[in-house]
Amino acid sequence: MTDINEQVRRPGAKTASIADAMDDDARNQPEADPALLDLVELLFFAYRDFTREPDKILEEIGFGRAHHRVLHFVNRHSGLRVADLLDILKITKQSLGRVLKQLVDEGYIVQEAGKTDRRERLLYTTARGQELADRLALPQLRRIAHALDASGAESQSCIGKFLSEMVCEADRAQVSQLLKAGAGARGRSGEPA
């Protein structure tokens, strides 16, 4: 009987494992800067606390972070096409389908056919959806405002630039346009509520 742990080797066959390849990559990289590792950890902790309060609110109504992301973007970008939402979130139709169905079924979002292309599905928050989006955003806005106040007057533009640079280079222009378009756009009519 062959030992399943024994690797079968053919002449000329590559036998390096994924772990070996990762070890080679690690040997070819400079040692990680401890200050950068500290920033990585700070990002983990900041995200944990940034999402903590909204997570509690979402849990009370049987929703999760996926619902929050969808609701956030639909609320900020009234009339957002489903195809654009998929691109923003970098998820599949199947992943979005379940979450979107719940938000629609429970009255937080409405879908309408496009005016020029009836196959398009346009998304809008309802008054109930706007209310929930605001409730979820409030603790996050307070946390960000406090952090900016504590960081000094110039911190907002510096942190904005830092976060922009953290976005994949190929997506930065799209994200920048999305931020510009989102200022003040909310709800079914596209007017601020």
**pTM given for the model:** 0.77
3 state SS of 90: coil
Among residues 63, 89, 93, 64, which one has the least CA distance to residue 76? Answer: 89
What pLDDT sits at residue 68?
98
CB 80 within 8 A of CB 178: no
pLDDT at 51 over 90: yes
**CA 118/CA 22 separation, integer angstroms:** 49
What pLDDT sits at residue 52?
98
Domains and CATH numbers, the chain: 34-151 (1.10.10.10)
Residue-wise pLDDT tens digits, 60-81 = 999 999 999 999 999 999 999 9
CB 54 within 8 A of CB 68: yes
What pLDDT sits at residue 193?
40
Listing DSSP states for 4-69 in one string gives TTSPP--TT-----HHHHHHHHHHHSPPPPHHHHHHHHHHHHHHHHHHHHHHHHHHHTT--HHHHH
**CA 113/CA 164 separation, integer angstroms:** 33
